[in-house]
Amino acid sequence: MKPDQEWLKTTLESISDAVILTDIQGNIRLLSQKAKLLTGWKNEEALHKPLTEVFQLLNAATNEELGGSMLNVLETGKKVEFTKNAVLLSKSGEKRPVRSKAKPVKDEDKHIQGIVLVFKELVRKNKKLGKAEFLSFHDPLTGLYNRRFFEEEFKRLNTERNLPISLALIDIDYLDDIKKDLGHAEGNLIIKKIAEIIKQECRVDDIIARISESEFMILLPKTNSKQADILVNRINDLVDKEKLEPTTKKENEIALVYKEAAEKTPPLKSTAKNKPSNALIEIIMETLFHKNEKEEKESAQVSEFCAEIGQTLELSEKNIENLEMIGLIRNIGKVSLDSRILHKPGKLTDSEMAEMKRHPELGHEILSTMNEYAHLSDYVLAHHERWDGKGYPKGLKGEEIPLEARIVTIADAYNAMTSSRPYRKALDVETAAEEILKNAGTQFDPHLAKVFVEKVLGKEHIK
């Protein structure tokens, strides 16, 4: 290394921000130590590679690539800045919120010779955003990516430079039977074990996602069918040793697997009276509202019904506030579900229904990690239990079900009946109230059902 280059490198190492230098073509010349740490690239690996390959900058909300605009510096000589809503995708697939600035490097005659890129991880300011980002793109049970992220990565990686691309689909046999016979905890343990085996055998550049209750997908860039077969067989062998029962399939025509990604909808303004005060919860709920437009309005209505039931029962002010919040965030676990299930116009298949029924457990997992909302997690977990014990996920019966969850169950059911669905029209108030009373003692707490219809709805004349 020349003396001036050595001096430059030493200088860069003393700077707290990360720095990348490129040549006139936009190819990497040098990475500072902090840049290597944040991008996951070593100098010798990154040398002469395009800037956009090493510094992969994405829009935090849409996953749209932003890095290409940095190369405009070479043509315009003007700096390009991203001060918010941008995340750096590292070589290992980790996302970090960053602020970046790209400026031209000029010689004595003012001729552009390259780019100097300075960037910094936003830790304090975006700590909660980073966690929300993780939750919205990851499966809470395994920590793997979810279907939403997988579809976005498919669009990003499905380029000529990543060919050949292979795809492995892993499906766990008999998972429903295992959960039915041995319980959800045992089923979840098997899911976690298989996830660990897959992570252990895959490369850092492979994208692993849990796309449904029993299915994992592995995206394998720069991998031919023979190499994919080797990986599949290796995973199967390790699973056999663990005495687990997944079946593995492989596809090397990625375009046949996903033809289009999930549609993006514009942000919605919240109408809920009692919005979460926790920024992280608010971000996750906004993500859910983006996936399902009706969810926001219906959550606000359920929240209001819950509060009215609590007031009629003369519960404490704190309990009523809790009820409002539970009604609002009861479906938070749906943020991890496939949008196509949430928007399906017809009846769900058995596997789709099994996936839909995961949302109370997913919501419980999300909330239980947050001190401010952990005390509400058990109520969210139980809001689809039934008075007769035929609900889910635990099959709780009668007063085994927390009072708050029993209240939310009634408010949620009434709101669902009086809201339109793609496969049916909304029921009128009279009919919906009759259904609540008809199912008192089976689906609903009989006392609460009567209180709701007679006191909250004021329908004493309904037989």
- pTM exceeds cut of 0.85: no
Cα 21–chain centre separation: 34
CA angle 325, 329, 335 (to 5 degrees): 165
- Which residues contact residue 288 at a Cβ distance below 8 angstroms, ignoring those fewer than 6 apart? 295, 331, 332, 334, 335
pLDDT one-digit tens code per residue, 55-110: 999 888 788 888 778 888 898 888 888 877 889 998 888 888 888 888 888 776 78
Rg of the chain, C-alpha, whole Å: 26
Rounded CA-CA distance 44/191 in Å is: 38
Contacts by 239-248, CB closer than 8 A, 24 or more apart? 239/194, 239/197, 242/193, 242/197, 244/172, 244/190, 244/193, 244/194, 245/172, 245/173, 245/174, 246/170, 246/171, 246/172, 246/173, 246/194, 247/170, 247/171, 247/173, 248/168, 248/169, 248/170, 248/171
pLDDT on residue 311: 94
pLDDT on residue 111: 86
pLDDT on residue 379: 96
The helix-helix angle for 225-241 and 184-201 (nearest 10°) equals 140
Cα 444–chain centre separation: 32
Number of neighbours of residue 349 by Cβ within 10 angstroms: 11
pLDDT on residue 400: 96
For tokens 């918010």, the residue is 84
Query: In this structure, are residues 394 and 372 in contact, taking their beta carbons and an 8 Å threshold?
Result: no
pLDDT on residue 16: 55
pLDDT on residue 158: 64
In the chain, which residues have pLDDT < 70? 1-16, 108, 123-136, 155-161, 243-284, 286-287, 290-291, 293, 369-371, 422-423, 459-463
